[in-house]
Each structure stands twice: as structure tokens, then as C-alpha cells.
Structure 1
Amino acid sequence: MIILAFFVLHWYTSLFFQTFFLHRYAAHKMFTMSKTWEKIFFILTYIFQGSNYLSAYGYGIMHRLHHAHADTEHDPHSPSYSTSLFDMMWKTKNIYTDICKGKFKVEEKYTKDVPEWHAFDNFASSWYSRIGWGVVYSLFYIQFATHWWMFLLLPIHFLMSPVHGAIINWFAHKIGYINFKTKDTSTNLLPFDFLMMGEGYHNNHHTYGSRANFGGVRWHEIDVTYLIIKVLNWVGIIKMRKSASEVSLEKRKKVA
């Protein structure tokens, strides 16, 4: 039970900081926060993503490119231009790495206001750090695992963030249902997104990219991350922006 609880905890905490800090804040600026809180969330992202730490700078720019070029040859991660899931993720990894190292040149509009803390990113993304976290996870399993099959979960801990990315960037362009007709292949994976904390409402998000609530189009679409965002806004840690797409949501016609 301890191992399964640890796995679930790591899954959802890592996912939360990916969707809240990297996606909705770094890439889309759906809300604002002070520089002090920004630094705190950098550190919390590192703690909870661990060996899978993703740079807000690299993630933010790459995700903006994804929205600008969704399902075209310029999309950093499109199933339409990859031979397999692993091919897509390898391309994604290379583009992300080149962005972080300044080798991938992009227009200024894709870098504007993206959070930057390169010294911290360099430390958190170093192999010393990644291997160190891997050792911590392994020792935890050695101490608490009660069955051999539990060790099969370890590789997911090592690659938690890429696994989360693969689920959305591949499967949410392959299977699921749609609420809105778009120019890309985005879908909503689950009627109630208990697995990806709202990220699975991908078709909704591609239709209204600046809308903080990825769900809410149908009665069963509950975006758990959005509920947490509302609490953080209420206590003053962040300040939500008034989204134009929030106003126009009801004007778009859903696909039956």
C-alpha cells in the first residue's frame, strides 16, 4: 500500500505543477503572480517532478509553438508527423533540449514573458540531480516494496513528466470525443478527467487557449486544476486574468 500511495502521490503532484505552473502559467499566462511566488513554484516544481524536472522556459516556448503550428510539420509534437509514439517523444525531447540550450531559434513573440531562471534550471536538469532523484526513488522501493511487480513502476517515476506529455500529445490527438470543430486533431480523452487533472480536455483547450478552465463545456467536464487555481486566486497567491474566450465560450456551437 505504501508503494502504491507513493506512486499516486508522485503522479498527481508532478502532474499538478506541470499543468498549473508550466502549462497554464509559463506558456499561457492565464494568471499572474509575484516574482517571489514564481521562484517558490520553480522550486516546488523541482521537488515534486524530481528526476523529470521540466524547465518553465523550455516548456513554455515549446507549448506556444505547439498551439501556433498544431498538427503541421512545424508542430514540436504532432502524431500526424511522427511514425510512432516514441518517435514523437524523441523529437519532442530534442526540440525541448535545444530550446533550453538556446540552439533552437524562435521569434520573440514565443519568448515574451516566459519565466526564466536559467541557473536553477541548469541545476535541476543536471544529470547529478536526475540520477540523485532516481536513487532516492529506488531506495524507497527497496525499503517498502512488498512484491516484485511493484518495481515495474520505477521507470514511470524516472520519466513521469514525459509520460504525462505522451498521454496528452499522442492519445489526445488520436482517441476521445470532440466538443468543437478545430483545424487540428485535438480530442477530449475522458468525460471526467480523473487521470490528467483537466489536461485531458484537450479539444476544449485548443479551442479556447487562454481559458483557465479546460472543462466546463459539458456538465461532466470537471477540471480539478481549475478548482485549485480558484482557491489560489481567492487566497491571493495568484491573480486570474479576465479571458476574452471565457466570454465568447457560449457563442461557439458544440459538435453533437
Structure 2
Amino acid sequence: MVIIIFILVLWYGGLFFQSFFLHRYAAHQVFTMSKKMERITFILTWFFQGASYLSAYGYGIMHRMHHAYTDTEKDPHSPSYDANLFAMMWKTKTIYQDINQQRINVDSRFTKNVPQWKTFDAFASSRFSRLLWMSFYLTFFIFFTTVWWQWLLLPVAFLMAPIHGVIINWFGHIYGYVNFKMKNTSKNLFRFDFLMMGEGYHNNHHKHASNANFGVNWYEIDLTYVIMLLLNTVGIIKIKTDTK
């Protein structure tokens, strides 16, 4: 039971900061926060994503590219141009690393105001940091695993952020329903997105990319947005008034 709770904390903690910070703040900037709070959020993202930490700079730029080039050859991740989900993951990783290490030229429209903390990213993305987290996960499993099948969850802990990415960027363009007819394959995975905290409303998001709330229908409850409303109420963030 302890292992299950641990995986759930990693799943939803990492997912929240990926959706809240990397996606809605870094890529789309649907809300603002102070520089101090931004730095705190960088650290919390590292804490919860751990071994699979993603840079806000690399993620933000790559996601903007995804919106600009959805389902074309320039899309960083598209089932339409990748043979399988593993090929898509490898392509995504390569482009992400090329952006972070500035090995490719990126159009200025994709870099504008994307948050970057170079010194922290260098540490959080380092092999040392990733191995440190992996060692912690392994030690935790050694102490708390009670049945053999729980060991199957260890790779999930190691690869949490890429798994989240595959669910949305692969399955979210193949399976599900649509509220809006688009010139792309984006779909909503769930009527109520209990699994991806609102990220599963992918078709809605592609239609209204600047909206803070990814839900459209009454039953499409965006759990990340619900938390954002609370943070907005207490003054930690300020949701932009031109979003819904």
C-alpha cells in the first residue's frame, strides 16, 4: 500500500506541476506570479518530477512549436509522423535536448517570455540529480515493497514525466472524442479527466489554447484549474482576465 501511495504522489504531484507550471505558465502564460514564487515553483517542479525533471524553458518552447506545427512534419511529437510511441518519445527527447542546449535555432516567437533559470536547470537536469532521485526511489522500494508486482512500478517512477507526455501527445491524438472540429487530430481522452488533471481535454485546449480552464462542458472538470482558482483567490497567482 505504501508503494501505491508513493506512486500516486509522484504521479499527481509531477503532473500538477507539469500542467500548472510548464504548460499553462511557461508555454501559454495564462497567469502571472511573482519572481520569487516562480523560483519556488521551479524547485517544487524538480521535487515532484525528480528523476524525470523537465526544464520550463525546453518544455515551453517545444510545446509552442507543437501548437504551431500540430500534425505536420515540424511537430515535435505527432502520431501522424512517428511510427510508434517509442519513436515519438525519442524524437521528443532529442528536440527537447537540442532546445535546452541551444544546438538549434529557435524562432523568437517561441522563446518570448519563456521562464528560464539556467543555473538551477543545469543542476536539476544533470545526471547527478537524476541518479540521486533514482537512488532514492530504489531505496524506497527496497524498504517498502511487499509483493513482487510492485517492482513493476519502479520504471514508472523513473519515467513519470515522459509517461505523462506520451498519454497526451500520443493517445490524445488517437483516442477519445472531440468537441471542436480542428485541422488536427487532437481529442479529449476523458469526459471527466480524473487521470491527467485536465490535460486530457486536449481537443478543447487546441481550440482555446490561451484559456486557463481546459474544460468546456459542465462535466469536463479541470482539476488543475480548480487548484489555480484557489491559488488565485489567495493571491499566489493572478489568472489573466482574458482567459476562461
TM-score when normalising by structure 2: 0.99
Residues 1:235 and 2:234 aligned together: yes
Over the aligned positions, Cα root-mean-square deviation in angstroms equals 0.7
Q: Which residue of 2 aligns with 1:197?
A: 197
CA-CA distance at 1:223 after TM superposition: 0.2
Residues 1:225 and 2:218 aligned together: no
Distance 1:218 1:241 in 2: 21
Deviation string 1:193-214 (CA, Å, 9 cap, x unpaired) is 0000000000000000000000
**Match of 2:106, as an amino acid?**
V
Deviation string 1:167-192 (CA, Å, 9 cap, x unpaired) is 00000000000000011100000111
Q: Equivalent residue of 1:79, what SS?
A: coil
Deviation string 1:67-94 (CA, Å, 9 cap, x unpaired) is 0010011100011000000000100000
Residues 1:175 and 2:190 aligned together: no
Q: Which residue of 1 aligns with 2:19?
A: 19
**Match of 1:112, as an amino acid?**
K
Q: Equivalent residue of 2:80, what SS?
A: helix
Deviation string 1:11-38 (CA, Å, 9 cap, x unpaired) is 0000000000000000000000111000
**Match of 1:61, as an amino acid?**
I
Aligned residues: 244
Distance 2:40 2:9 in 1: 20
CA-CA distance at 1:240 after TM superposition: 0.7
Q: Which residue of 1 aligns with 2:131?
A: 131
Distance 2:104 2:8 in 1: 35
Distance 2:241 2:110 in 1: 21
Distance 1:5 1:43 in 2: 22
Q: Which residue of 2 aligns with 1:79?
A: 79
Identity of aligned pairs, percent? 62
Distance 2:192 2:124 in 1: 33
Distance 1:3 1:234 in 2: 34
Q: How does 1:86-165 map to 2 (within 5 A)?
A: 86-165=86-165
CA-CA distance at 1:218 after TM superposition: 1.7
**Match of 1:202, as an amino acid?**
H
Distance 2:105 2:64 in 1: 14
CA-CA distance at 1:224 after TM superposition: 0.3
CA-CA distance at 1:243 after TM superposition: 2.3
Distance 2:217 2:33 in 1: 30
Q: Which runs of 5+ in 1 are unaligned?
A: 247-256
Q: Which residue of 1 aligns with 2:44?
A: 44
Q: Which runs of 5+ in 2 are unaligned?
A: none
Distance 1:102 1:5 in 2: 38
Q: Equivalent residue of 2:197, what SS?
A: coil
